[in-house]
Every structure is written in structure tokens, then in C-alpha cells.
A and B are shown apart, each in its own frame.
Chain A
Amino acid sequence: MSETHSINSEVIPPPYTGPEAFVSDWSSDQTAFKNVAWGKVMMWIFLVSDTFIFSAFLISYMTVRISAVEPWPNPSEVFALTVFGEKIPLILIAIMTFILISSSGTMAMAVNFGYRKNRKVTFILLMLTAILGASFVGMQAFEWSKLILEEGVRPWTNPMGAHQFGSVFFMITGFHGTHVTIGVIFLLIVAAKVYRGDLEHARPGFFTGRKGGYEVVEIMGLYWHFVDLVWVFIFAFFYLW
């Protein structure tokens, strides 16, 4: 978003497309990533490292599932819910998916309204995102307790088939749920900053003397969309496969 920040007075060459642009930016003076706030670069680098963590989980899940001798429990049946006497497969997981996608939508709009300096709408959208995120965590807690208490799934065993199912499930969804929880806390902090007008007046935050601008909302948004992105992969590989 070029309207946000031109941090240094360096002349920024026009964006070519393709490899030439890559070479010219990387071989230029001072900064390789022109027009990108440093906080945003740092968040992206963190997200790339987080990509490797989640990928390590998903790839070990793949390895464990390929090597399992007993049949893998069918997630479609394990996560089915009985609603009004009818058994609907995966329904809770589908609802959770829609909720997370909606929260990503409200987040994306919050970023946009932030750059328009519309404090009120940004605050409302951020709070809406936080509420959707919190309800996602709530549904996950429901799902976990149903699996642990009613179905007897444990990390080391389960009655439905391959024992590895439990450890993979708790590891992957637990790690993702932790990310969502941290994201909700992070969202509430950013929402409070927006509400108080800290970002407009570039008041420093409480962890740092760094002055904040509306790119803080965008950085928050990157984290939140990443959490949604990881869920896309978990949904496909763990629940649907």
C-alpha cells in the first residue's frame, strides 16, 4: 500500500514486473524492500518461519498416516454432529471454517478503513474480528471436550483406529488454536489503540517507544490472515483427506 509510508527520502524506482524488478531492488542502495514498513517485513519473516513450523507438523502427519498399519479413523464420521436427529458429517468444522473466513473478511476491511483514518469503523471491524475469533476458539474447545470425554480420544490411543490419530489431532489443532487465541488478544490490543486514537497521534505503545501508525493494523491483519491460511491447509489435509 503505497499511500502509507515513504520512510526514507530515497527515490523509489517504478515497479517493473518480473525478475528485472527483483534484481534491481535487491542490488540497489539502502533497502531491498522499498515502500514496505520495517514492522511489516518483520511480520512477514515471522510468518515464513511459522509456515515452516506448521508445514513440519502437516508433513509429519502425512508421514505418520502413510506408515500407519491400522486404518486411519474417518474424520467425516469422527467429526459428525447429530442435529435434530440427523447426522451431518463435519458440520462443526464447516461452520468453524466459515467463521474464520468471515473474520478474515472483516479484518481486511478493518485494514482498509484504518488507512482511510476512519477510527470508528476500524474499531468496530476489529472488535467483530476478535469476537469471531473467540467464537472459533470456543467451538474448538467444544470439539476437543467432545472428543476427549465422549469418544475417548487420547494422544496415545483412540477407539476408532490408528493410534497416531489422536496425537496428530491434538498437536495440529492445538497449535492452531493457540495461534487464534494469541491473535484475539493481539486484536483487542490493536482495537484499544485504534479506539484511543494512539495510531493517529503516533503515541508509543506500552511495550516499546516505537511510534505507531496505521500500518500496525495491517501488520495485525497479516498475522490474522495467516491463521486463516493455516486453517485452509488443516481443513483440506486433516479433515477432508
Chain B
Amino acid sequence: MGVHLCIFLSLVREIILEHENQHPIGIYLKIWALLFILSALSYSVDYFHFQGYLRWSLIIIFMMLKAGLIIAFFMHMVWERVAFIYAILIPPLLLLTLVGIGVLEGGYTFLTRNIFFGN
């Protein structure tokens, strides 16, 4: 996913490098509006009681879009050089390993709790 983000970022960069010297304020207002819409959408996931995989996938999609917009535009990542983008965005991918370990460990604990303390 991070790799996709990097490719996405370098594509957007080429479009945006044209106004490198002064970002028009309009970009920030548009991103702001998009973030508002996405937040409203993720809130409505709860408000309309979506459940199960639909709920989880919608939450993740809206979350990733919001995070991507904040990093890319508010934190100026699209205007940075590739060397810097890679150095900052690739190391956190290691966390996926920790997620994997956590899922295994959590499932195991749940199982043993049910065997030894369950009814």
C-alpha cells in the first residue's frame, strides 16, 4: 500500500510541480473541503449502522484517503523530492509485521482463555 502511495505521490508531483514556487491557497481550501466530506462519510458509516465487512472496509477506505490527503498536501509531501518521501514513508511499513504478530498473539490468547477460563 505504501508503495502504491509512493507511485501515486510521484504522479501527483508531476502535475503539481508546475506551481512549485507559490502554492495557490485554493489547493488548501479544496483539500479542507474534501477532508470534511470524508469525515462526514465516515461518521455516517456509524450513524446508519453499517455492520460487518462493509463497515470495516468503508472505515479503512475513508481513513486511508484522509490520511493520504493530509500527508500529501497539508504536510507538503507531494512537493518533496523522492529521496525524502521514501525515507519518511517506507520505514513505517515495518509496522505491518507488528500487526501480524498482534493478530496471531491475540487469537492465541483468546483461544487459551476460552479453553481454561470459559464455561
Contacts and interface: CB of A to CB of B under 8 A. Distances in A.
Contacts of A66: 102-103, 106-107, 109-110
Contacts of B63: 232-233, 235-236
Which one of A2, A108, A112, A218 has the greatest number of beta carbons of chain B within 10 Å?
A108
Contacts, number: 169
B92 A18 contact: no
A229 B70 contact: yes
Interface string A90-102: 1000100110011
A44 B88 contact: yes
B113 interface: yes
Interface string A1-24: 111000000000001111101101
B99 A59 contact: yes
B46 A35 contact: no
Contacts of B43: 90, 94, 97
What interface size band does chain A fall in?
Answer: 35 or more
A2 B82 contact: no
B88 A59 contact: no
Contacts of A1: 23, 76, 79
A197 B25 CA distance: 22
A67 B84 CA distance: 39
A229 B67 contact: yes
Contacts of B32: 101-102, 104-105, 108
Task: Tell me the dominant secondary structure on chain A's binding face.
Answer: helix
B75 A232 contact: no
Interface residues of B, number: 60
Nearest to A17: B10
Nearest to B49: A76
A52 B92 contact: yes
Interface in B5-24: 10, 13-14, 17, 20-23
Interface of B: 10, 13-14, 17, 20-23, 25, 28-29, 31-32, 35-36, 39, 42-43, 45-47, 55-56, 59-60, 62-63, 66-67, 70-71, 73-76, 79-84, 86-88, 91-92, 95, 98-99, 102-103, 105-107, 109-110, 113-114, 117-118
Contacts of B102: 59-60, 62-63, 66
B83 A63 contact: no
Contacts of B87: 32-33
Of all A-B residue pairs in the complex, the 6 with the closest CB atoms, nearest first, are A66-B106, A25-B83, A67-B109, A105-B32, A21-B82, A236-B63
Given A33-B87, A55-B92, A101-B32, A89 B47 contact: yes
A26 B43 CA distance: 42
11 contacts: A17-B14, A17-B82, A33-B87, A36-B80, A67-B109, A69-B118, A101-B39, A105-B35, A108-B74, A116-B22, A228-B74
